[in-house]
Structure 1
Amino acid sequence: MGRIAITRETIKAQTVTAMKKMGTFAPEYEPIIEIYAGLREQYNRLSAEYSAGKSYHYATPTADGGAKKSPLSMTIESLRKDILLYSDRLMLNPRPEPMPQGETQKIQTGGGAEGWPVGRRSVFPAGQRSWSTWTPS
């Protein structure tokens, strides 16, 4: 994607370009893209401030001997969640293509732990109701 976008306008332009490339852009998304760009700009600025500042710690001690997250850490975490939510709404996160109705996925073996099947869907072999008696062939 090139260098890191640091301004709201740059982030907005990159987001629109990415959406057009995926075929998901529509002018109606402009207000949401504006908010998303603002969140990412804020996140980049606060993350740089957090990593550059020696006075910012992840947790600060409390009077009762415990620890609580610093306000900057909590803000960054909140921004991450919001960015994920908005990027999901803007369809920027990849998703697996849905399988056509009535088809089942073939079981792949060897990729999981101890030869267990891996894949998007688990389909029991013919005549079985669970994986407890399944053995790889």
Structure 2
Amino acid sequence: MTGVKTKKQFKSAITREMRSLGVYKKEYNNLIDIYAGMLHQYQLFEYYFEESGYQITEEYTNKAGATNQRKVPLLTAMESLRKDIVSYSDRLCLNPKTLFSEPPKNEGNTGSPLDQFLASQK
């Protein structure tokens, strides 16, 4: 699978990007690890989707014996993963939406959106 980055390569790139943006803290490493894994999975899914000739549907026979067309499970997994990737990129301040948005004006609100999220989990 030429061109597919490893999870470790993604994690290194994410950390480098976060440092460049000034939003990296070692406390974020668990979230970074999960995000890197999702990016790696998505890239693998893209590879397999391309290999399938971008097959969108397949025949499926249900328990009652009826045969219908359904979306291929790989595409469903990609759609779900895409949403999770966007959510994690928000938390890690790796997209323009979160990087340039102002934090809510609450008393005691300090730090990045990720700091605020982690503090709320305690």
Q: Given the alignment of the two structures, is residue 73 of structure 1 paired with residue 71 of structure 2, yes or no?
A: no
Q: Which has the larger share of helix?
A: 2
Superposed structure 1 runs of 4+ greater than 6 Å apart? none
Q: Deviations over 1:18-63 (max 9, x none)?
A: 1011110011100000000111111101110110124x62112455
Question: CA–CA distance in 2 between the matches of 1:69 and 1:85?
Answer: 24
1:49 corresponding residue in structure 2: 48
Question: CA–CA distance in 2 between the matches of 1:33 and 1:9?
Answer: 11
Question: CA–CA distance in 1 between the matches of 2:78 and 2:67?
Answer: 24
Q: TM-score, normalised by structure 2?
A: 0.68
- Provide the aligned C-alpha RMSD in A: 2.2
Among the aligned pairs, what percent are the same residue? 34
For 2:15, the aligned partner's letter is V
1:37 corresponding residue in structure 2: 36
Q: 2:58 aligns with which of 54, 60, 68?
A: 60
**In the alignment, is the contact (CA less than 8 A) between 2:4 and 2:44 conserved in 1?**
no
Q: Which runs of 5+ in 1 are unaligned?
A: 102-137
5 Å matches for 1:1-137?
A: 6-54=5-53, 57-62=55-60, 66-95=68-97, 96-98=100-102
Q: Which runs of 5+ in 2 are unaligned?
A: 106-122
Which of the pair has the greater relative contact order for Cα pairs under 8 Å at 6+ separation? 2
Question: CA–CA distance in 2 between the matches of 1:69 and 1:26?
Answer: 40
For 2:89, the aligned partner's letter is S
Going from structure 1 to structure 2, the CA distance change for 1:5 and 1:70 (only over 3 Å counts) comes to closer
Question: Number of paired residues?
Answer: 95
Secondary structure of the corresponding residue to residue 86 of structure 1:
helix
